[in-house]
Structure 1
Amino acid sequence: MEQNKLREATLTAAAGTDDLKRIFQDRKRTNILHKIEQQTLSFLVTRIPKSITSDMLTYIGTFGSMMVLAGFILANYQNDRNYLLLGVFGLAVNWFGDSLDGRIAYYRNTPRKWYGFSLDIIMDWVSTVLIGLGYLVYAQKAYELIAFAFVVLYGWAMIISQLRYKITDIYSIDSGLVGPTEIRIILALIFVLEVAFGGLIEYFATGICITLFIINIIDTRKLLKLGDIRDDMERKVKNSAA
């Protein structure tokens, strides 16, 4: 209770200051496809049958990740990389479910903020593990470690977003111009190129991991600065209340 009061007092004391504007400059989505994505979701949300619930959409998104896993497995054991195209469709299904689950709840005025938030984070992690496991099955032995690195680095990015939410009370899933939607599109393009030419996915996967590592380092530095500013604000509130 005391922590909540302190948190509220800190934010109130900082309201309207330059620090708050700088800290919360990510109030809106920053990914490149934000406008197009929002227009598409606004169109879809009014057309989802009432029999399809928010939870069902979350599980549909996870099923899309299972399709990506299945595409990798079939491509490996059937020795036919055309099965990777199943992964392209799976990523589209994952976007559909993952992007609409929360929005449909708010549209229907039936939001469960913390339940939905918790379920979404857990299923996002499951989806990441499924995709990483799929690549582990498909990858050549020399590149199997890349699958592990992808899961670790994407998990690191998820942790950063949760900690940023804890510090700022603003939940942001984007890192600059790139968000989950852009990552799905990049992965889909990699699958298509792998089907067309073969032998390229290892290089792309390595490139993605290097990029994620750099982004995570930058975001971690920013996160620590936010934490330092929050600590300074809370000290000021404590001193003023003393």
Structure 2
Amino acid sequence: MVGNAVSEPETTEPGEADRSKKIFQDRKRTNILRKYEQQLISYLVKNTPLFFTSNVLTFIGFLGSLLVFIGFVLATYINRNYLLLGVIGFIINWYGDSLDGRIAYYRNIPRKWFGFALDIIMDWVATVFIGLGYMVYAKEELELAAFLFVVLYGWAMIISQIRYKITDNYTIDAGLLGPTEIRILLALVLITEVIFKDTIQFFAITMCAALFIINCLDTRNLLKLGDERDREELELKSKHLPNA
């Protein structure tokens, strides 16, 4: 989320086409499904009832992650089929998390920095709940995978914030993979686990390894960007220094 709808709308409303275009201008997307995802979001923001404010949608997104956690717990102590609650939870989480900021921009009532701060915090809380849920479900020797997933996803979040600070361009994707693709992969893992018990352990280790490699590559690129900006600022500063 980048906008959060609480403030009063401006008196001059932009046209429908302008508002639809504006909702994606604050961030650069590179994920595989961006075209179809943006088409779906454009449709949803136009047809979402007014009482679904940005804050309400943020809370709905959180409830989705909480449902994933509950699904893991019920699957551990009652029946493995309850993991399918997690699939529903990821859909709910996508709905709330994807629309909260977009709908604020569409309604022309964004709160950029409030929304940005709230979104980062809630994303982290959601990730922790999902990781805790898997930790409950996982076998003892693989609880470490749940911890690593939370740590590695947190590392990815930190990279995105530092990249924003250095480049002034906000992106939430790691190349062709974004939060939506990660949710889909996790949902498929849950479905596979319901059908074939203990396959989630293999996927957990594989995803942690993939996240580690992606984070290492992104960190290297981030340091290059930081070095380039340092050089640019030093050159600019030297131009403004008086001649010795």
Q: Same fold (TM over 0.5)?
A: yes
Q: CA deviation at 1:198?
A: 0.8
Question: 1:53 is matched with which residue?
Answer: 53
Measured on the aligned residues, the alpha-carbon RMSD in Å equals 0.6
Question: 1:231 is matched with which residue?
Answer: 230
Question: 1:68 is matched with which residue?
Answer: 68
Asked if structure 1 preserves the Cα contact closer than 8 Å seen for 2:104 and 2:110, the reply is: yes
Which residue identity lines up with residue 106 of structure 2 in the other structure? Y
C-alpha distance in 2 between matches for 1:55 and 1:153? 27
Question: 1:29 is matched with which residue?
Answer: 29
Does structure 1 residue 211 correspond to structure 2 residue 210? Answer: yes
Q: For residues 59-78 of structure 1, what are the alpha-carbon distances to aligned partners after superposition, in whole Å with 9 as ceiling and x for unaligned?
A: 10011000000000000011
TM-score by length of 1: 0.88
C-alpha distance in 1 between matches for 2:234 and 2:116? 30
Q: For residues 164-196 of structure 1, what are the alpha-carbon distances to aligned partners after superposition, in whole Å with 9 as ceiling and x for unaligned?
A: 000000011001100000000000000000001
1:74-223 matches, cutoff 5 A: 74-78=74-78, 80-223=79-222
Which residue identity lines up with residue 162 of structure 1 in the other structure? Q
Q: For residues 38-64 of structure 1, what are the alpha-carbon distances to aligned partners after superposition, in whole Å with 9 as ceiling and x for unaligned?
A: 000000000111111101101100110
Asked if structure 1 preserves the Cα contact closer than 8 Å seen for 2:28 and 2:169, the reply is: no
Which residue identity lines up with residue 69 of structure 2 in the other structure? L
Q: For residues 139-166 of structure 1, what are the alpha-carbon distances to aligned partners after superposition, in whole Å with 9 as ceiling and x for unaligned?
A: 0001000000000000000000000000
Which residue identity lines up with residue 31 of structure 2 in the other structure? N
C-alpha distance in 1 between matches for 2:56 and 2:134? 26
Which residue identity lines up with residue 235 of structure 1 in the other structure? L
C-alpha distance in 1 between matches for 2:60 and 2:239? 50
Q: CA deviation at 1:240?
A: 1.1
Which residue identity lines up with residue 184 of structure 1 in the other structure? R
SS at match of 2:47: coil
SS at match of 1:46: helix
Identity among equivalent positions (%) equals 65
SS at match of 1:105: helix
Which residue identity lines up with residue 42 of structure 2 in the other structure? S
Which residue identity lines up with residue 58 of structure 1 in the other structure? T
Q: CA deviation at 1:28?
A: 2.8
Structure 2 stretches of 5 or more lacking a match? Answer: 1-26
C-alpha distance in 1 between matches for 2:223 and 2:28? 21
Indicate the structure with greater helix content: 1
Which residue identity lines up with residue 84 of structure 1 in the other structure? L
